[in-house]
Copies of this chain bind each other. A is one copy, B any other.
Amino acid sequence: MQTVKVALFSSEQDRSYPIYIGNALLEQVDLLLPHLPQKRVAIVTNTTVAPLYLDQFRRALERHGICSVAIILPDGEDHKNWQTLNLIFDALLEQRCERKTTLIALGGGVIGDLTGFAAATYLRGVPFIQIPTTLLAQVDSSVGGKTGINHPLGKNLIGAFYQPRMVLTDSATLTTLPDRELRAGIAEVIKYGLIRDADFFMWLEQNITGLITRNADILNKAICRSCEIKAEIVAADECEGGVRALLNLGHTFGHAIENAMGYGVWLHGEAVAAGTIMAANLSKQLEFINESDFERICSIFQKIGLPVSAPKLSPDDYLSLMKLDKKVEEGRIRFILLKRIGEAMMSHDIPASTLRETLLTCMANE
């Protein structure tokens, strides 16, 4: 036998990237220019966002000598699949987009995840920029390089870690965001306080009205602090070997809810809200947090108008949906729990009876 070694040490390349956050940044194309290897980009957006921001953005690009191709997809979580991904590939090939053509995601989380996955796999990888236009995408999905699509059996089961070259967050785009989506996005903002920053959580409790009424300063501060926390965690653990898993507070339950109800029926943030209550209930049962902490958590979600009860399913249905989660190991489901408000932990060892109790307690009665 002979052995040949393929010697692959990580390249020295610095893949760090900036997130620019502010009001009316969409036309500040000078922020993008240093990140474009070619004076041609492909903008991927959807039928909801295109009429609002596409022309404005393309004209701004044109003023800087950048020509663009637009790919307009149908809107909604139920389009986050192979078929839609293939629409992107077909358009990129028809338009002769090359390895140096940058893909720009202009839209919410679905557009960002689809475009990022397309960028990761088109010609084995092309440059990618995120311009998130929903609160959820601005505080969560546009940062950190998780990309992917859903499979009929579960959410985000197919995908890649693929980092953008930059993120441009124009909080002015939130003025056109439907109220329900704004509220769903706040669920992820609250998550950052719960897992990492008790002071931020308290600030959110005090400023919840400002968030809901879209006070620009309060929104910018909330987005910025959320991105800081996410950036810190992603830098420590890019591919979710450890601490990054804490970002999934409420998500194991939440994904089961989204899957059970059919993608798009519950918004992701709504499912995360109910899922976070379930995780908090588990944490309370295990005596990490007390009743008053639990009440604070329920109360903030209620004030936002987010669901605090899970849809009624049999506990076995929940368990079998949760076992489809990406993070199952040797058949055991991984849960993110709250040690206290401002600190999360991971556990693979939740007694079955405790979990069942949480499922039964947290389900809506009707």
Contact = CB atoms under 8 A, between A and B. Distances in A.
A231 B38 contact: no
Given A124-B159, A146-B124, A158-B121, A6 B234 contact: yes
Interface stretch (A67-75, A271-279, A290-298, A320-328): A320-328
Given A161-B125, A328-B98, A14 B4 contact: no
Contacts of A12: 10
Contacts of A3: 18-21
A153 interface: yes
Contacts of A9: 14-16
A64 interface: no
Contacts of A239: 124-125
Contacts of A151: 89, 93
Contacts of A329: 98-100
Interface in A77-112: 82, 86, 89-90, 93-94, 96, 98-100
Given A89-B158, A117-B121, A121-B121, 11 more contacts: A3-B18, A5-B18, A6-B19, A6-B143, A6-B163, A8-B15, A8-B238, A99-B326, A122-B157, A124-B159, A124-B160
A10 B15 contact: yes
A349 interface: no
Given A93-B153, A220-B2, A14 B22 contact: no
B20 A1 contact: yes
Contacts of A307: none
Contact of A159 (B7, B121, B324): B121
Interface string A254-271: 000000000000000000
A158 B124 CA distance: 6
A154 B13 CA distance: 30
A93 B330 CA distance: 14
Contact of A6 (B38, B98, B231): B231
A96 to B, nearest CB: 7
A224 interface: yes
A106 to B, nearest CB: 18
Interface string A18-46: 11111001000000000000100000000
A2, A5, A151 — which one has the most chain B CB atoms within 10 A of its CB? Answer: A2
A351 interface: no
Contacts of A13: 10
Nearest to A124: B159
